Amino acid sequence: GLPDAAFWWKERATCCKVRARRFGSQRQLVVVEPSSTAGVAVLKLKNLPVNSFSLEFLTELIINLEKLENDKTFRGIIITSDCPKAFSAGVDLREICGKNPAHYTEYWKVLQDLWLRLYLSNLVLISAINGPCAAGGCLIPLTSDYRILADNPKCLIGLNETRLGISAPFWFKDPLVNIIGHRASEHALQLGLLFPPAEALQVGIVDKVVPKDQVQSTALSVMTQWLAIPDHARQLTKNMIRKPTADLLVKHRDTDIQNFVSFISRDSIQKSLQMYLAKLKQNKD
């Protein structure tokens, strides 16, 4: 059978805390503030410049999510960015370039942990997407219950992995399919489409597009509607709908790690990623 979720989370939480001690950073990469609405926290991603998923940032994010999940005063979280350049640039390419298999294994396990923590959260999660959101960065909106995007041409959103010469894992693909459907996902994933706001709304990868300065206030008013539903009924329903998708990762996570490590260790893949990173560094505004 599948590992018991509570046991698994306890074990992973211990790993996260050990890792956090290892980093021992003074920088606060995730800021949690109470909102004006009772029971709602605002979680701000603050890994400058673009909230790329470094191992340290992922660890801090998971610890903060776990604390909120276990704190009975909270019923919902609004996740937003405190970096002017991006909501999230996804996987930090420096974590998956030029390192060793042990590092890739640890990194991928932690990214899976974040996905499971978000996708199976009992809290209402709303993504207030106030900047560009690429590839792995979409892991947060795609596991949220509701997505609000800033109406700004720079705010592109999508799973653009193929443009880097890599393929999104099945657990990035599955929530996308659940949200926008099979055909639209096939199109978006193969072409690595990054949708501007109007198209993002049309295809359904976001639920609402509003002016940038209204993203957070809109998130709060949407949150109020969601919190009007009794928690137990909403949580049971969320779990019923999401469990089959989550179970696929829980069941296949070791194989998924092995696939990732062998894929990412290929010379040809390392070369493509290094070229992409170099191009990013050249294309300065």
Ligand X SMILES: CC/C=C\CCC/C=C/C(=O)SCCNC(=O)CCNC(=O)[C@H](O)C(C)(C)COP(=O)(O)OP(=O)(O)OC[C@H]1O[C@@H](n2cnc3c(N)ncnc32)[C@H](O)[C@@H]1OP(=O)(O)O
Instruction: Summarize as ranges the residues that interact with ligand X (CB under 6 A).
Output: 49-50, 52, 85-86, 89-94, 132, 134-136, 160-161, 164, 166-167, 169, 259-260, 263-264, 280-281, 284-285
Residue 79 phi/psi, 5-degree rounding, is -105, 125
Nearest distance in Å: CB 75, ligand X: 30
What lies within 8 Å, CB to CB, of 175 at 6+ separation is 119, 142, 143, 245
Tell me, rounded to whole angstroms, the distance of Cα 213 from its chain centroid. Answer: 22
- Looking at the Cβ atoms of 94 and 252, the one nearer to ligand X is 94
- Looking at the Cβ atoms of 45 and 134, the one nearer to ligand X is 134
Nearest distance in Å: CB 183, ligand X: 22
Nearest distance in Å: CB 185, ligand X: 16
Q: Find the residue with minimal CB distance to ligand X.
A: 90
Nearest distance in Å: CB 82, ligand X: 15
The rounded distance, in Å, linking the Cα atoms of 102 and 110 is 13
- Looking at the Cβ atoms of 232 and 281, the one nearer to ligand X is 281
Report yes or no: 37 and 75 within 8 Å, Cβ to Cβ. Answer: no
- Looking at the Cβ atoms of 121 and 160, the one nearer to ligand X is 160
Could you tell me the maximum CA-CA distance found in the chain, to the nearest angstrom? 52
- Looking at the Cβ atoms of 10 and 279, the one nearer to ligand X is 279
For strands 133-134 and 157-158, give the pairing.
parallel
Nearest distance in Å: CB 176, ligand X: 13
Q: Indicate the helix (H) or strand (E) that contains 183.
A: helix 182-191
